[in-house]
């Protein structure tokens, strides 16, 4: 069984770590965090757009070394659907990728570290701003 995680790092938090943001590094110090498959996909897109893709991948590997990556389970789509439905009904949709990340965090009962304020619209999600 994987180690217990303290939180899920959203793409915005990982980007801050990649940029060596000292305030964000403090949040992560001594913590066991995971990322989601969505964050890896978003980072992969960033690498494709990077001027120096090899250097970008090297830095990502350094920051994410030995980190757990979360994938959907049979329960995740139902949580995703509930989040989407509630946000759409309230007229406050957030990006689809972020709904997946929120669903994974809710399913695992862990907070998300992020700089995106829109995560606060998701009922039942704990957010640690960075």
Arithmetic mean of pLDDT, 95-120 = 96
Query: Is 35 a member of any domain?
Result: yes
pLDDT in tens, 35-78: 999 999 999 999 999 999 999 999 999 999 999 999 999 999 99
Query: Is 110 a member of any domain?
Result: yes
pLDDT(128) > 70: yes
> At 27, which CATH number?
3.40.50.1010
Q: Confidence band (pLDDT; 50, 70, 90) for 1?
A: very low
Give the pLDDT score at 43.
96
Q: Confidence band (pLDDT; 50, 70, 90) for 98?
A: very high
- CB distance 64 to 34 below 8 Å: no
Tokens representing 68 are 């757990």
Structurally, the chain folds into a number of domains equal to 1
Arithmetic mean of pLDDT, 11-40 = 95
Arithmetic mean of pLDDT, 66-92 = 97
| Domain span holding position 31 | 7-129
Which helix (H) or strand (E) element contains residue 33? strand 33-36
Give the pLDDT score at 97.
96
Q: Confidence band (pLDDT; 50, 70, 90) for 115?
A: very high
Arithmetic mean of pLDDT, 7-21 = 96
Query: Is 1 a member of any domain?
Result: no
Q: In 3D, which of 19, 37, 22 has the Cα closest to residue 80?
A: 37
3-state secondary structure of 115: coil
Give the pLDDT score at 2.
53
Query: Is 2 a member of any domain?
Result: no
């Amino acid at each position: 069984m994987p180690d217990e995680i303290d939180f899920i790092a959203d793409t915005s938090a990982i980007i801050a770590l990649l940029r060596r943001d000292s305030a964000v590094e403090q949040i992560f110090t001594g913590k066991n965090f995971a990322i989601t498959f969505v964050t890896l996909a978003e980072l992969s897109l960033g690498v494709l757009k990077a001027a120096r893709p090899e250097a970008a991948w090297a830095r990502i590997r350094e920051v994410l070394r030995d980190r757990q990556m979360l994938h959907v389970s049979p329960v995740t789509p139902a949580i995703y659907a509930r989040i989407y439905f509630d946000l759409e009904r309230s007229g406050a949709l957030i990006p689809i990728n972020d709904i997946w990340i929120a669903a994974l965090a809710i399913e695992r009962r862990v907070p998300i570290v992020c700089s995106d304020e829109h995560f606060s619209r998701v009922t039942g999600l704990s957010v640690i701003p960075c």
